[in-house]
Amino acid sequence: MEYFPITVRLQDQQCIIVGGGEIAHRKLKSLLKAKAKVSLIALHFSPDVRALVEQYQLPLYQQAFNETLTEQLLDEAYLVIAATDNRELNQQVSVAARKRKVWVNVVDDLDLSTFIMPAIIDRSPLLVAISTGGVSPVLARKIREKIEWLLPTNLGQLLTRLKAYRPRIKKKFPNLKSKRDFSEWYIEQAIADPTVFKSGFDENLKTYKAINAGNQKGKVYLVGAGPGDAELLTVKALKVLQTADVVLHDALVSEQILEQVRRDATLVHVGKRAQYHSVTQDETNRLLVQYAKQGLLVVRLKGGDPFIFGRGGEELEVLVNAGIDYEVVPGITAASGCASYAGIPLTHRDYAQTVMFITAHCANSIDKLNWQSLAREKQTVAIYMGLLRNETLVSNLMEHGRDGATPIAIIENGTLPEQRVVRGTLQQLPILVEQHQIVSPALIVIGEVTVLADRLGWYQHSTLLGSQTEVNQNGEALVLRKVS
């Protein structure tokens, strides 16, 4: 983060603008809106600037900027803005301000500035600032325009009411959670129905208590985080993450997604990976019940979809037995998300009419699989957590009739910027894993549809690695080399 975002109280602070044209006029309006005390220095002032100077009775210095002549003014300044089109003059202003450790902004010149001014959405006292780090003020304004229409117009009125209610909320509610629950309820009501403002605090409190009477039990949301890309979260998943008190998350949930969790929520890592079980399933179940019984809103956040190899059903059974309320928020499962980002349609009229999802993670899963069914041609098999048992997968599929030349793809870190897709054939799978040093998380896709990755791969961050192998008469891979 190159610039740290803060909001500064400028009321009655001494500020200087060097310049008197259109840009100076824009900056002057912003500072006056913040109730700053502004002085202006320039040889010439536009009629618009002079009108504001006269209206607000501002000090005007019609002279060339000179550090010696304006020394006292600079010494007392809180911040300085250089709003001229003369870089040499702007540099003089910047040097003079920096010497005094005064904040300085030189319009359209990051090198000479110690702070930048963001695009602002003003719903006073609510302010939303959008900054591009000074790189593109035009983009910042465009983003502001897009956000502007999304925000209700009554947010300023809502904040004013919340400010007035704050002492009474602190008095009526004994702990942080109860304060937050009431505030969130009131905000939701006020945004949905502005007539709420017509009621006083006591009436609002009475309505809240009536709605929530006997409803202090905790609740668990079983949420699918998708395959990794935070933009693949559902709208409901994002909403739940931003209201949760506690989030129990898996190891495969990406940092991008964890950043969407409310800042003051408690994050609990309960992740499990092959050979690295940090938290047992029993302990995870116990924590879910424990937190819910404390009256908290708990999110069990799982990579992919919680009902596809996510043990979501087992965890819900525990909640049912404990009498805990719950909801399920589905997510995009890894097979669908990763294959899509790799340009591999899991079904295709010319290649596969059937798709099967299997996991090779559980100790006995390999023995329980219907290999004859899995080995059928013209179908896609998506294998979760299969890296450690790739040789067993290959031998069983080929033993039951799947051709060793069947195309395959290994998708590592699917949907993330570091995504890699390795293409080859079924009999090459073990050597591909070793040659390219594939690591978890990785999805193995077996079937004719995988050849389409060569033409349909669209994800700009993806690295596609093909292979070409010489095979001896026993079907053993002898040589492997990249071809793309």
pLDDT in tens, 297-339: 999 999 999 999 999 999 999 999 999 999 999 999 999 999 9
- The half-sphere exposure of 327 on its side-chain side, counting CA atoms within 13 A, is 11
pLDDT of residue 469: 43
- Mind listing the pLDDT tens digit for each residue in 361-403? 655 666 678 899 999 999 999 999 999 899 999 999 999 999 9
Considering 181, 245, 250, 305, which one is annotated as catalytic?
250
Residues 6+ apart with CB under 8 A from 56: 32, 38
CA pair distance 430, 377, nearest whole angstrom? 21
- Mind listing the pLDDT tens digit for each residue in 335-366? 999 999 999 999 999 999 999 999 976 556 66
CA pair distance 231, 313, nearest whole angstrom? 26
pLDDT of residue 155: 87
Helices and strands (DSSP H and E) totals, the chain: 18, 22
pLDDT of residue 275: 53
Mean predicted lDDT score pLDDT of the chain: 89
Amino acid identity at 241 = L
pLDDT of residue 473: 40
- Residue 226 pLDDT class (50, 70, 90 cuts): very high
pLDDT of residue 410: 97
Is 272 annotated as catalytic?
yes
Q: In terms of Cα–Cα distance, which of 482, 464, 232, 484 is closest to 342?
A: 464
- Residue 479 pLDDT class (50, 70, 90 cuts): very low
Considering 172, 177, 219, 272, which one is annotated as catalytic?
272
Secondary structure of residue 35 in the 3-state scheme? coil
Check pLDDT > 60 for residue 185. yes
Q: Which DSSP category does 359 fall into?
A: E
Check pLDDT > 50 for residue 465. yes
Give, in order, the Cα–Cα distances in Å from 378 to each of 260, 359, 397. Answer: 40, 20, 14
Is 250 annotated as catalytic?
yes
Q: In terms of Cα–Cα distance, which of 140, 134, 104, 138 is closest to 119?
A: 140
The burial class, CB within 10 Å (0-12 / 13-18 / 19+), for 397 is buried
Residue-by-residue DSSP string for 379-399: EEEEEES-GGGHHHHHHHHHH
pLDDT of residue 420: 95
**Tokens linked to 139:** 């983009």
pLDDT of residue 125: 85
- Better pLDDT: 134 or 302: 302
Check pLDDT > 60 for residue 471. no
Secondary structure of residue 268 in the 3-state scheme? strand
Least confident of 75-89, 145-159, 229-243: 145-159
